[in-house]
Amino acid sequence: MALQMSCSSIEEEGSVKDSDESLVFSCAVRTLQKLIPGGQDIVEVDLLFKETADYIIALERQVKFLRTLAGLYAISELDSGSNHCT
């Protein structure tokens, strides 16, 4: 609980003293653990960073797929709209 309170106070203040760097790092790790699926079960920081990178790549692939799908849908809508005019 104390770590959470400290993390939120860091976010509010916006500046960090050199002595607080380890706290900032701990807060960043906890934030990543919350954001990454299954991240709260990962205790090794190196593995958490690897999982974070893998997750970012997976999200980028999903965005690319959805953009492609949306483009195909838009083309389909244009084609079906032109058939109604003839």
First and final CA of the chain: distance in angstroms? 68
Number of separate domains in the chain: 1
Please give the residue that has the higher pLDDT: either 12 or 43: 43
Domain that holds residue 80: 2-85
Among the listed residues 76, 36, 41, 82, the one whose alpha carbon sits nearest the alpha carbon of residue 59: 36
Structure confidence by residue, pLDDT tens digits, 9-18: 666 665 656 6
> Which pLDDT score, from 0 to 100, does residue 18 have?
60
pLDDT band, very low/low/confident/very high, at 26 (cuts 50, 70, 90)? very high
